[in-house]
Amino acid sequence: MKRKIIVQNLTKKFGEREVLKNISFDVKEGEIFVIMGGSGSGKSTTIKHIIGLLKPTSGKIIVDDTDITALSDRELIEFRKRMGYLFQEGALFDSLTVWENVGFYFLENTKMPVKDIRKIAVEKLSLVGLKGIEDLYPSQLSGGMRKRVSLARAISTDPEIILYDEPTSGLDPVTSAMIDNLIVHLRDKIGVTSIVVTHDLDSAFSIADRIAMIHKGVIYAVGTPDEIKNHPDPVVQQFINRKAEGPITEELFKELKLSKS
């Protein structure tokens, strides 16, 4: 299977803080590749590099033989048309209707007739299981529906690659399972290559073809769900068995108690 995305020795520093530490992996064409890790592990920073929202301190990101880290801003904007991005919080515009949110790229960047943009929006909404809501506003929708509208927007330009940043965050288990099913459905229906960032173990193991386990900016393992479940590395096992990284001291207990008060 062809390698669609190659991440080579990617390092990112913010000042003196090294967030990504020489990480490397590849994503095959048409697969669902999950980047799994806890909060602050570097997983969201990684996909922001893949879509070009961040520039690396060093390293390369190659998409279809093009090193996107070497592109100019104008070239990068053009290249991003091939990618869809689902933001963690959805990032919908409250002042726009659902169909205007989904068709936002075309409304802002093309002279396409409005009726044609609306038609595209309705088609994409149908793909994510939403019909008859195109004239509603985001505030009138449930959290799961807003997430699906965001997904419809992400696929509005018929991207080759979709990047999902914590797609099930904040959703109940039933809605989370629906989003997982949609990710698989879109891969099967339109053949996109998918990269999913998540800390949700159930989601990761149910949808992934392969998983990369990242912790404190380091890739500890890459493999199929079964390979990750049985990986001997203690950091991997600690995460997938949901174990704390150390004992809960009296000081930490006080901090946790205060944070909830």
- Predicted confidence (pLDDT) per residue in 24-59, tens digit: 999 999 999 999 988 888 998 999 999 888 999 999
Is the pLDDT higher at 242 or at 188? 188
Instruction: Judge: domain 3-260, CATH 3.40.50.300.
Output: yes
Residue 246: predicted pLDDT: 52
pLDDT tier at 90, thresholds 50, 70, 90: low
Is the pLDDT higher at 147 or at 21? 21
Name the pTM for this structure.
Answer: 0.84
Could you give the angle at the alpha carbon of 105 between the alpha carbons of 126 and 71, nearest 5°?
125
How is 145-187 classified by DSSP, letter by letter?
Answer: HHHHHHHHHHTTT--SEEEEESTTTT--HHHHHHHHHHHHHHH
Domain parsing of the chain, residue ranges: 3-260
Q: For residue 261, is pLDDT > 70?
A: no
Residue 241: predicted pLDDT: 83
For tokens 């690659």, the residue is: 161
* Percent of the chain scoring above 90 in pLDDT: 51
CA–CA gap between residue 92 and residue 94 (Å, rounded): 6
For tokens 């914590």, the residue is: 166
